[in-house]
Amino acid sequence: MSNLEEIHYRVLNAANIDELKEIYKDWADAYDHDLINELGYVAPATTVNEFQSFLPNTQATILDAGCGTGLVGALLNEKGYQVIDGLDLSPEMLEKAKEKQVYRDLIQADLTASLDLPDNQYDAVISVGAFTCAHVGPEAFNELLRITKPGGYICFSVRNSSWEEDQYHLKMTVLEREGRWKRLKADTANYIEREGSQCKVCVYQTI
């Protein structure tokens, strides 16, 4: 197993939040190169394209939830979006995101806990790579809904291997039945090309 394969395995099998933070601390410097150039991480580009198709307003206030090193923020910036905040668990990953100079604000926080953010704060939330093995579970949808304005959008990827196992689809259905949001799209797309993994790219509108 190569060093990259070992890191990737550890990330997907972390036992807890503290272990995950340590892994990302070690990986932050090489993260962009490893994921994009070595592994073929295409989910950010696919998800941002879907996001743009539903919310073309480049003045919208956006939270990049689980922003990591800022891959999604950089893609949004390339498409003209100007008011983007980033939130991530790892201080080291946030430092890398800061270097991209595309975020209005960067917030260190745990998506599995309550967020210190006001209700109805954002026009939209985008999250790529957070809803996956050993990362953020479906319970986080409640907080994302709380901080998104009524009529806003929540766009996210869910790794296919976690879709059923962690019951994301059940939580999403419950929230729709409760009248919290409505599904606009949930399509299968490539996630990481080198490993042949796929994800669901979902777009919901808040109610």
pLDDT tens for 152-202 read: 999 999 999 889 888 999 999 999 999 999 999 999 999 999 989 999 999
Using pLDDT thresholds of 50, 70 and 90, give the confidence band for residue 15: confident
pLDDT at 1: 40
As a residue count, the chain comes to 207
pLDDT at 2: 57
What's the first-to-final CA gap in the chain, in angstroms?
A: 47
Place of tokens 């994301």: 168
Residues 6+ apart with CB under 8 A from 164: none
Where in the chain are the domains?
Answer: 3-206
- What's the maximum distance between 2 C-alpha atoms anywhere in the chain? 47
Does 113 score more than 80 pLDDT? yes
Query: How far is 22 from 109, CA to CA, in rounded Å?
Result: 15
Neighbours of 129 (CB within 10 A): 24
- Across 20-24, 86-90, 131-135, least confident range: 131-135
The pair of three-digit structure tokens given for residue 34, joined into one six-digit string: 């490893």
Helix 71-78 crosses helix 43-54 at what angle (to 10 degrees)?
40
Single-letter residue type at 151? G
Span 3-206: which CATH code? Answer: 3.40.50.150
The answer to whether residues 74 and 105 touch, using CB atoms and an 8 Å cutoff, is no
Query: How far is 152 from 82, CA to CA, in rounded Å?
Result: 17
pLDDT at 23: 87
The pair of three-digit structure tokens given for residue 12, joined into one six-digit string: 């997907």
pLDDT at 149: 99
Instruction: Select from 133, 194, 193 the least CA-distant residue to 159.
Output: 133
Q: Which tens digit of pLDDT belongs to each residue from 43-87?
A: 999 999 999 999 999 999 999 999 999 999 999 999 999 999 999
Place of tokens 């891959």: 71
